[in-house]
A and B are shown apart, each in its own frame.
Chain A
């Protein structure tokens, strides 16, 4: 029997624990009582600041916004992953599959190459969202025919656009390599990471992610029914075309904003929903929120590891998620093949 409530409580607890852990540990060691004091002081408690100013800055302006961004991005990735897996009835679907992540990457890389980030901190995220939106639009336009969007064509269009976007990104990168600094910036960004994320980034990613999440959660029942197939779903009154369009748009928004803020981070959207589905079953009114929560906790924890393990240097976040995600993914593949479920 599936103890869904237990799983939910555990997920929330792990998110809280991850947040606290990530706040406490980092490249520099801040004593626990200082950390507690800084947080208390920030919440308005009357405490004497016995800690140095740089600890305050690190905790509230370096680590905390980074954690919040990590939660939004990780949560968004987990949510989009479970949504797309339900939408395409394929456990191997993830936000990258519609080519949206690659489109967002291209937009961001162009912003980096043109040096637009110098003018405003919003330049990169805006171009990334633009890239994500254009790709999503082109993919659904290619794959739609008289209002009907066959899944196979949609996936192929997504793969094709993804390849195109990746190729263009490589092209821009090759141009940028003439300038060592910009070239290295782009490469680091492509590898994905949360370093240097500020409260401005939170302002960009949090509202879009929350709005998108609320929208997707409203379609939980539709996603359940869609799992049976288009014919079954239509026969019980689900407008498959409309639902698909809404969900693709929303996942594109969330993915675009997430990629804009943190670069391309893979495997979170693939592995987390899959594991959860094995544990708590396919009902989306549980699967969607839990994918969000566990995805958020996972990314915050991996980011904490990324910036603590080889301090004062940092491991790129995308590298760690791939290192953990890829073997698990292969393991799941083998599991499925053995049981003939793929």
Chain B
């Protein structure tokens, strides 16, 4: 099966400030891939490049085998859906209004909602457990509830690729776990998801593979155990941490201890 997402030798710079280069990876159906990196490493930039919001300086991006450059905006939106970090909304829309916007890539100018659209919206609401919020204004929802509404909108797009930028940023612990397991179950067989995360534990728990972006390149990619190592954390994140395999949960546990100041870095 064709890769959901293929990135070849991608490079980007803001004016004369290079962000990263030589970034290459692939995402296959069923993959949940985590994207980690220190502040300023370009995680958000990478996601914007994958959506076609920013133009790549070098390299290729292929969505389901089709080059990004050749797709129209609506076509891109049918291939990839985005869950943004910032969920502040300044207009009096209800939850259902917001989720319905996810159907925009399928609707013509004056075309009203079809039964297919309604079905997709209902499914998205159910998958994120937000049906009870349908008639409420998003302005009145809590940060966590709003995040789930954004996820519902992305799901309503029925795109095979999901891109998420720090989706757990405003959630409490329970909701963090809930959201990521929702993503996992939705991605399950046919879709793919690329999630930018700050939290190493969550990344290790919920992602099949991890991409580590630092120092202007992709410094590591592979299973969580291969990528999230004490060595990598020291070198690229400048922290001393303990990484342990916990057999009870069948996953990695990361315990940050203290930051390393530059002249303390040793091999």
Contact = CB atoms under 8 A, between A and B. Distances in A.
CB atoms of A and B under 8 A apart anywhere in the complex? yes
A304 B72 CA distance: 50
B265 interface: no
B78 interface: yes
Contacts of A234: 51-53, 73
Interface stretch (A65-73, A166-174, A196-204, A225-233): A225-233
A283 B73 contact: no
Contacts of A224: 93, 97, 101
Contacts of A232: 84, 101
B74 A237 contact: yes
A149 to B, nearest CB: 14
Contact of B51 (A235, A281, A283): A235
Contacts of B101: 224-225, 228, 232, 236
Interface in A194-232: 218-219, 221, 224-225, 227-229, 231-232
The contact size tier of chain A is 20 to 34
A218 B90 CA distance: 23
Interface stretch (B24-32, B102-110, B244-252): B102-110
B203 interface: no
The contact size tier of chain B is 20 to 34
Given A237-B73, A237-B74, A227 B91 contact: yes
Given A225-B101, A228-B89, A282-B91, A235 B78 contact: no
Contacts of B52: 234
B91 A235 contact: no
Interface string B45-78: 0001001110000000000000000001111111
B153 interface: yes
Contacts of B93: 224, 227, 282
Given A89-B90, A225-B101, A282-B92, A235 B84 contact: yes
Contact of A218 (B75, B82, B110, B154): B110
B91 A236 contact: no
B35 interface: no
A238 interface: yes
Given A227-B91, A228-B89, A236-B153, A221 B73 contact: no
A238 B107 CA distance: 11
Q: Label chain A's interface by main secondary structure.
A: loop
Contact of B104 (A229, A237, A281, A283): A237
A23 B101 CA distance: 44
B157 interface: yes
Interface of B: 48, 51-53, 72-78, 81-82, 84, 86, 89-93, 97-98, 101-102, 104-105, 107, 109-110, 153-154, 157
Given A236-B102, A237-B77, 18 more contacts: A218-B110, A219-B109, A221-B109, A224-B101, A231-B48, A231-B53, A231-B82, A231-B84, A234-B51, A234-B53, A235-B81, A237-B74, A237-B78, A237-B104, A238-B104, A239-B73, A282-B92, A283-B97
Interface of A: 89, 218-219, 221, 224-225, 227-229, 231-232, 234-239, 281-283, 341
17 contacts: A89-B90, A218-B110, A219-B109, A224-B101, A227-B89, A227-B90, A228-B98, A231-B82, A231-B86, A232-B84, A232-B101, A235-B82, A236-B77, A236-B153, A237-B74, A239-B73, A282-B92
